[in-house]
Amino acid sequence: MTIADPKTASNFTDECWSQAVGRFALDPHSSGDEPLNYLPARVLLAPALASARDLIAETLTPLGVVLEVSESTPNADEGLDAWAEALENRIDTDGEFVDRDDEHGEAGNRGKRGESLLVMAQGLASINGVTADRIAAFAKAAVLFLAAKPWTMMHHEIVWRIEPAQQEKAQRYCTVMGGAGQEFGIAFLSSRTQAQDISTGSNDGNYAMDPNTTYWSVMFNAVHETPEADVFWWKKHRLVLASPDMYPVPIGMKRGAELFRPTAAGLTFFESLLRTFSGLTVAEVERGRIVREVSAFGGARTVTLIADAAD
């Protein structure tokens, strides 16, 4: 199968998969190869696309093509590895350097080196216990958060202590992003001082990351900076988006660009915080304390946030 450019993923149609297989059969990509002139009996999917299996099968199964997820897809793996490397180095398929700042203006700053590798991250729907309803609840909370623009109520960066404290230390504090007008969402911290460590790091973001800590965030990304499986899921289930280029991406990262997705409970925890901040008031910011009962997936829960202004 062809490897789609992630920048065009928003234009996928329901028939794109049958068209891709048909073109593969009639127009081989490798120079000198003879065309098959018939549809393959079986198509193997790499594990990274496992959560999109049902969506792809909707168009391929009626054609008699069997779809299987396989751990061994050497031809696809080779292509995906080269694709990921090109994205990481910000090189287009013609080998030309792409400066996202020139291409997209100030918004291009959102596409930092390595961020495009998010497209290969595990899909939320493939996580044990994460149901369609749980993802839908998270998607609605994300839209409410962006609509509320809570960052406009904070005249400086505020680190919020989350109560009750999370078992995972790296999710015990958080800060709202958006004040600079470039990145929007919630960043999670293990302590108040961690925010200062990050803000005083080098411009390329290479601050001293603890190799044993997973750094969590809920970001709002363009489609080509969003896990491909999540994009498929949002489109298949017609989930709400604040705008076509604002996909909510809950993600964890360790030093070395190792990516993690939240557990089912973690996703709902993120949903709860998005809903809490979506109801933020100026009075709460001035008081430095928020106590709110929010209706999240699975029922109501109380979230308490205590502010500690960063220097």
Would you state the pLDDT for residue 308? 75
Straight-line distance from the first to the last Cα atom of the chain, in angstroms, rounded to the nearest whole number: 52
Regarding whether 125 and 92 lie in a shared domain, the answer is no
**pLDDT number for residue 125:** 94
Q: If you ran DSSP here, which 8-state letter would residue 227 be given?
A: -
Q: Is the pTM of this model over 0.75?
A: no
Question: For 209-221, b where at least 16 C-beta lie within 10 A, e where not — what string?
Answer: beeebbbbbbbbb
Do 212 and 252 have their domain in common?
yes
Number of domains in the chain: 2
Say if residue 84 is in the same domain as residue 135: no
Which tens digit of pLDDT belongs to each residue from 238-280? Answer: 999 999 889 999 999 887 668 899 999 999 999 999 999 999 9
Q: Determine contact, residues 176/190, Cβ cutoff 8 Å.
A: no
CA distance linking residue 241 with residue 253, whole number of Å: 24
**Contact predicate 264/127, CB 8 Å:** yes
* In-domain check, residue 85: yes
Residue 266 makes CB contacts below 8 A (sequence gap 6+) with 168, 171, 250
- Lowest mean pLDDT of 41-50, 108-117, 138-147, 151-160, name the range: 108-117
Q: Pick the last residue of a domain from 65, 98, 131.
A: 98
Radius of gyration of the chain (CA): 21
Are 268 and 303 a contacting pair, CB within 8 Å? no
* Same domain, residue pair 144 and 230: yes
Give me the domain span that covers residue 49. Answer: 6-98
